Amino acid sequence: MGFSSKKSLEMVLSKLKSFEEPSLALEQYATPASIAAEWVWNMAMKSEVSGRVILDAACGPGILGIGLLLLGAKKVYFVDKDEKAIQICMQNYNLIKEEYEIGDADFIISDISLFDQEVDAVVQNPPFGSYQSSHKDKVFLEKAFEVAPIVYSMHKYNTETFLQAIAKDHNFKITDKWRYDFPLKAIFIHHKKPVLDVEVGLWRLEKITT
């Protein structure tokens, strides 16, 4: 994979640029390098990265997709509706490409509902709908189920019933689940504490073929 340990991958990912001016409306919270490294490392351990084409939906600065490229992904589609986020993502990709031999990337400024390519897997940490309409992440799941047989998706930990229901509706099943304390730094005016830990879950969902 080019990396001898998950920790060495985390160190590289921790040097990537993050959001410069996070948007509250888009719920832009950067995935911590420790979580991103474990996420993509687990995928690599399942032989779901090397040589694969993957969609990083709501990619933000691109930490997940770049981690996948560093572990041998053939190509990553980076999709985000925020042009500034895509610009940072491109900077991060070009920075990594100077030091490592990595796969191709497509950078797409678009609403996720318009993505129309078939891929081997989807990774996404979409908006949770915490501050506007609930289940804003629903459209991301529906698109992921449409374009890939394997989906890794992060949501609030207490929404598993919702995940189970929507997966069943689209003929997918939950195969794995991880729980994390996701540290949200006080970047928005409504935050009362310097850092707030939010309990999130990462679910692996797989298309049922029989």
Domains of the chain (ranges; CATH) run 6-207 (3.40.50.150)
Tally of CA atoms within 13 A in the half-sphere of 125 that contains its CB: 22
CA distance 10 to 33: 6
Q: What is the pLDDT of residue 131?
A: 45
Q: What is the pLDDT of residue 53?
A: 98
Distance of CA 206 to the CA centre of its chain: 16
Q: What is the pLDDT of residue 20?
A: 57
Q: What is the pLDDT of residue 183?
A: 73
Strand 195-207 relative to strand 150-156, pairing: antiparallel
Q: What is the pLDDT of residue 4?
A: 83
80-98 per-position pLDDT tens digit:
999 999 999 999 999 999 9
Q: What is the pLDDT of residue 199?
A: 87
Stretches where the chain sits below pLDDT 50 are: 22, 130-133, 187-191
Q: What is the pLDDT of residue 132?
A: 47
- With contact defined as beta carbons under 8 Å apart, do 70 and 100 qualify? yes
- With contact defined as beta carbons under 8 Å apart, do 142 and 112 qualify? no
Give the residue among 80, 81, 46, 71 at the shortest CA–CA distance from 152. 46
Tally of CA atoms within 13 A in the half-sphere of 100 that contains its CB: 22
